[in-house]
Amino acid sequence: MCGIVGYVGPQQAVPILLEGLKRLEYRGYDSAGLALLQDGGIIIQKSAGKIRVLEESIKGMQFDSNCGIAHTRWATHGEPNDTNAHPHTDGSGRISVVHNGIIENFRTLKQYLERKGHRFNTETDTEIIAHLIQDNYQGDLFEAVRKALTQVEGTYGIAVVSLDHPGEIVAARHGSPLVIGSGNGENFIASDVSAILRHTDQVMYLEDRELAHITADGFNVATIENTEVTPEIEKIEWSLEQIEKGGFSHFMLKEIYEQPLALNNAIRGRLNFEEGISRLNGLQLQMEELLSIQRIIITACGTSWHSALIGEYMIEDLARIPVEVEYASEFRYRSPIISDGTLVFVISQSGETADTLAALREAKRKGATGLGICNVVGSTIARETDGGIYIHAGPEIGVASTKAFTSQIMVLALVTLLLARQRDMSHEKGRQFVDAIQKLPSQVQSILDESDQIKRLADMFSDHNNFLYLGRGINFPTALEGALKMKEISYIHAEGYPAAEMKHGPIALIDENMPVVVIALKDQVYDKVLSNIQEIKARNGRVIAIATEGDEEIKRLANHVLYIPKVMYHLTPILSIIPLQLLAYFVAVNRGCDVDQPRNLAKSVTVE
C-alpha cells in the first residue's frame, strides 16, 4: 500500500507533489519518487528511504513543471532501493507510471513482453505496466492505458504521464483507492484526500475498473470497457487542521488525546436517554429486519478485529444473538456458511483494507446483508456495504490505531443497545447503559490527565524485550490490543492471552525479567484474575495491574497499579485500553522508535 499524488495546472508541481507525498507517507515509506513533464521531456527523481531523502536529493535543482506524478512506496515486489522505487518507465523512457497495488499476472505479462523484445531493469510488477502501455500505444495515451489494463489482473491505483502528452495525466483504479481533486483551473489525483485537502475539498472517488483523463481544464472518466462515466463530485468534511499535529510531538499522541472528542462524535445524535435506546439510521434496516437477525458475523483485521471481539461479548451478553468473529483474510477463503438471518458486519478504520473488502464481497456474494463500521467517509468499504455506521473519529494518521479502536467499540455499544432493547433489555437497563456511555468521554479524559504516572512506568520498563498482556472476559481482547500496540511501535515482542490460558503454556515465559500487564478490574472474574496474579508472582513476574479506582486489595499483589474509573462491565475496554496505548507510546519514544511510521507497517493495507 503506497501513496500516489498527481498535479496538473498553472502552479509549480514539485512543492505540491512533495507536500502531498508527506501527507500520504503513513501509507508506505521505504522509497519515494516523482516524474515531471518539463520542456518536452520527463524528469524522474527517485530514492530509497523516506520522502526527506528525496527532498535532499533534489535540493537546489531548478524545476519548471506544471504537471507531474509522485509516489511513496511500501514494497511488495523487489526490495526497497533506488532502482525499484517508483516512477517506472517503458523501454523508451517516454511513458512513466506510479502504482499502488499488486499485478498478479505480472510474470505472464513480462514473458509476453520479453518475447516482443521488451527488456526490464527492475524487480517490480509496476514496470510491466509502463511497457504494456507502450505496447498498446498508437498516439492516444488514454486509449493505450485503457487497453493495457484490459490485460492486467490484480489491484491497482495508477497514474501515468507521457512526454508525448504534455499537461495530461491518465489515472485508473481497481481495488486500490484513488480520488480526483477538482480545482479552479487545476486538478489533482491522490490515494486519499489528505494529500490534496490544502488545495480543494471537491473530489470524485474513482470506482473499480474506472480510469480518467485529467488536464488543467478538467477530466473525463470512463470504464476499462470504454463506457463513459459521469463524474460525481463530493465535498470533503475534514479540515486541514484536523490532519496537522496540532502541537503534539506525534500524530499517535494527538489521536490518543483526541479520544474524548472522538467518542462524543461517535454518539452525537444517536442516543435517547429518556427511552434508553440508540438510533442508527445508517444501518438502513427496518425494525422487522433487525428483529429477524438470527446470527451475526463480524469480520475485520488487526485492531479492528480486536474491537470486533469486544462487540461479540457485548452483543451475545446483552442482545442474546450468536456472534462469530472472523479474521477477514481467513473468512474470504474459508467458504463461510451464510444462512438466512445472517448479518455480516465489517469493521475498518480506513475502509480500504483489501482483505476486509474481499470478505465483504464474499459475504454479499453468499447472500448476506453486509454492513460496515468505518471511519473514512467515502471509502471503498463504506460505499460497497448495504448500510453502516461512520465512527466519526476524524482523520487517524498515526499507523498504530488508537481513537478509531475506542470509537469502534463505542459504535458497537450503540449497535448492542439497539438490538438488546428490541429483545430482553428493559427500559431501565437501557437508560443505565445510555447514562454509562455518555459518561465515558470525561472518564477517558480523567485517565489522560494522569499520563505522567504511565510515563514513569514506561521509563522503568523501556529496556525490556518481552511483555505479556493478560485479561479475562471482555478484557481479553483489550489485552490483545495492548500487546499489538506495544509490538507495532516499540518492536518489543509482546503477547496477549486470556489470563486463565497462561498456565497452559505461556507461564513458562515468566521470570523476574518478564513484565506482565494484567487487566484486573472489579468485575465478575476479579477473584479469578487475582489468582492468576498470584501464579505470576510465584514465578517472580513483575505485575503491572490495570485496576478499578478504589481497589486497595490489588496494591498488595501487583508491583505497579494504574487505576481507571468504575464503569459498566461491557464498557470497560474503552477505559482499560487508554493506559495501554500510553504505555506503548512512551516506551516507543524512549526507545527512539518512529512512532507514527513504524518499520514495515502502513496505515491501510490495500493489498492482500
- The residues carrying an active-site annotation are 2, 603
Cα 9 off chain centre by: 31
Cell of 596: 507514527
Provide, rounded to whole angstroms, the least separation between the CB of residue 601 and ligand AGP.
Answer: 6
Provide, rounded to whole angstroms, the least separation between the CB of residue 352 and ligand AGP.
Answer: 7
x/- map, 471-490, ligand AGP, by CB under 6 A: -----------------x--
Using the contact rule CB under 6 A, the part of the chain among 84-92, 278-286, 296-304, 425-433 near ligand AGP is 296-304
Using the contact rule CB under 6 A, the part of the chain among 20-28, 61-69, 297-305, 560-568 near ligand AGP is 297-305
Position 176 contacts ligand AGP (CB under 6 A): no
Cell of 573: 475496554
Residues making up the chain, counted from first to last:
608
Using the contact rule CB under 6 A, the part of the chain among 37-45, 57-65, 173-181, 344-352 near ligand AGP is 344-352
CA dihedral 336, 339, 342, 345 (to 10 degrees): 20
Of all residues in the shown chain, the one whose CB is closest to ligand AGP is 302
Whichever of 73 and 485 has its CB closer to ligand AGP, that residue is: 485
Position 406 contacts ligand AGP (CB under 6 A): no
Diameter over CA atoms, the chain = 80
Position 409 contacts ligand AGP (CB under 6 A): no
User: For residues 557 and 533, is the Cβ–Cβ distance under 8 A?
Assistant: yes
Position 582 contacts ligand AGP (CB under 6 A): no
429-434-439 Cα angle (round to 5): 125
- Would you put residue 294 in left (φ > 0), alpha (ψ -120 to 50) or beta? alpha
User: For residues 516 and 470, is the Cβ–Cβ distance under 8 A?
Assistant: yes
Distance (Å, rounded) from C-alpha 384 to C-alpha 175?
12
Cell of 361: 464481497
Using the contact rule CB under 6 A, the part of the chain among 50-58, 393-401, 440-448, 456-464 near ligand AGP is 393-401
Position 574 contacts ligand AGP (CB under 6 A): no
Provide, rounded to whole angstroms, the least separation between the CB of residue 494 and ligand AGP.
Answer: 13
User: For residues 393 and 370, is the Cβ–Cβ distance under 8 A?
Assistant: no
Q: What's the one-letter identity of residue 99?
A: H
**How far is the CA of 563 from the CAs of 129, 348, 436, 437, 544, in angstroms?**
56, 30, 18, 19, 11
Whichever of 160 and 415 has its CB closer to ligand AGP, that residue is: 415
Count CB atoms within 10 A of the CB of residue 261.
16
Position 353 contacts ligand AGP (CB under 6 A): yes
Position 216 contacts ligand AGP (CB under 6 A): no
* Dihedral angle sign, alpha carbons of residues 71, 72, 78, 82: positive
Secondary structure (DSSP) of 181-206: EE-SS-EEEESSGGGTTTT-SEEEEP
Helix, strand, or coil (residue 270): coil
Position 399 contacts ligand AGP (CB under 6 A): yes
Determine phi and psi for 372, rounding to 5 degrees: -120, 150
Among 348, 369, 443, 475, binds ligand AGP (CB under 6 A): 348
Strand arrangement of the beta sheet that strand 295-300 belongs to: 323-327, 295-300, 342-348, 369-374, 387-390
Whichever of 87 and 573 has its CB closer to ligand AGP, that residue is: 573
Per rule CB under 6 A, count of chain residues that contact ligand AGP: 15
Among 66, 124, 200, 349, binds ligand AGP (CB under 6 A): 349
Distance (Å, rounded) from C-alpha 69 to C-alpha 553?
62
Position 536 contacts ligand AGP (CB under 6 A): no
The answer to whether the bond into 598 is cis (omega within 30° of 0) is: no
Whichever of 9 and 177 has its CB closer to ligand AGP, that residue is: 177
Position 301 contacts ligand AGP (CB under 6 A): yes
Whichever of 399 and 575 has its CB closer to ligand AGP, that residue is: 399
Provide, rounded to whole angstroms, the least separation between the CB of residue 606 and ligand AGP.
Answer: 10
Position 407 contacts ligand AGP (CB under 6 A): no
Position 411 contacts ligand AGP (CB under 6 A): no
Whichever of 313 and 405 has its CB closer to ligand AGP, that residue is: 405
Provide, rounded to whole angstroms, the least separation between the CB of residue 407 and ligand AGP.
Answer: 11
Whichever of 375 and 416 has its CB closer to ligand AGP, that residue is: 375
Position 307 contacts ligand AGP (CB under 6 A): no
Distance (Å, rounded) from C-alpha 263 to C-alpha 172?
36
Position 302 contacts ligand AGP (CB under 6 A): yes
Among 31, 47, 303, 581, binds ligand AGP (CB under 6 A): 303
Bridging pattern class, strands 67-73 and 3-8? antiparallel
Determine phi and psi for 558, rounding to 5 degrees: -85, 150
Position 98 contacts ligand AGP (CB under 6 A): no
Contact residues for ligand AGP, defined by CB under 6 A: 301-304, 348-350, 353, 356, 399-401, 488, 604-605
